[in-house]
Amino acid sequence: MNHPDRAFSFTKIDSEEGLIAAMFRHKWPLCQSFYHDRLLYLSDGESEDMPEYAVVAIEKTEGRFGINGRELGRIRPATMQAAEVPRIIRGINVGDPAGGNPVKVVAEPKWHHSCQLCRLDEE
């Protein structure tokens, strides 16, 4: 993880197509992340113009929003084609989740979240 201290916000997305559209066709605050099919796609980029998502499998939760998990891969919309992502997601889903790098983050549902990164849009 590039930003393990970032407080992530996540929105549940039900379809793979919706997830890909969210990552490739929209610009989000740096804290905005997604949850799809038991995986978190955490916004781990340096800028809103160069998004990067760390794909994290949740191993356990702590308290209300603490997540212990494993980073299983990365998706970089600026350097890849949207058509590549379904293959990457399927590869991650069939891989061994114990093989990823351990991560510990705070990930809050969108309805609860407010941080300095997303409040910048309100100013």
What was the pLDDT predicted at 92?
Answer: 87
What was the pLDDT predicted at 123?
Answer: 42
Check: CB of residue 42 under 8 Å from CB of residue 117. Answer: no
What was the pLDDT predicted at 100?
Answer: 83
**Rounded mean pLDDT for each run of 10 residues along the chain, 123 residues in total:** 89 95 92 92 93 94 90 94 93 77 88 60 44
Rg of the chain (C-alpha set): 13
Closest CA to 10 of 55, 47, 74, 50: 55
Q: Find the Cα–Cα–Cα–Cα dihedral 56, 103, 95, 17, rounded to 10°.
A: 10
CA 79 to chain centre: 17
What was the pLDDT predicted at 121?
Answer: 46
What was the pLDDT predicted at 99?
Answer: 74
